[in-house]
Amino acid sequence: DVKVTQSSRYLVKRTGEKVFLECVQDMDHENMFWYRQDPGLGLRLIYFSYDVKMKEKGDIPEGYSVSREKKERFSLILESASTNQTSMYLCASSSIVRGYSNQPQHFGDGTRLSIL
């Protein structure tokens, strides 16, 4: 069965800390995504990656960076955490068929991050 695993379900960090959120998928998918989800704002794409070492900015990349050194792992980094980054973070992956998005995304269970 398809599995996307996020390293933590809940995380509490302090303002100014460097925070790492890890995501691993076991489906050999090319695409991986990081979203944040906030009440009233829906899912917003932070960054995505379509191959190892490749990354593209999503809609709200400011304050974040990503790393994809291996195909199965996609890390989200908060360079200097701020309180407005308190949110639910969701990782997802999908495969590419003929170069277009006709494949579903598979999501992890999310990391609820609180920045104090």
Distance CA 38, CA 54 (A): 27
4 binds another protein (CB under 8 A): yes
Distance CA 85, CA 51 (A): 26
The counts of H helices and E strands in the chain are 0, 11
> Measured from the CB of residue 6, what is the shortest distance to another protein in angstroms?
8
Residue 21 near residue 6, CB atoms below 8 Å = yes
Stretch that binds another protein, among 12-20, 61-69, 72-80, 92-100 (CB under 8 A): 92-100
109 binds another protein (CB under 8 A): yes
Q: Using the minimum distance from each CB to another protein, give the nearer residue, 69 or 98.
A: 98
**Residue entry with tokens 């695409």:** 31
Size of the site for another protein (CB under 8 A): 30
> Measured from the CB of residue 27, what is the shortest distance to another protein in angstroms?
13
53 binds another protein (CB under 8 A): no
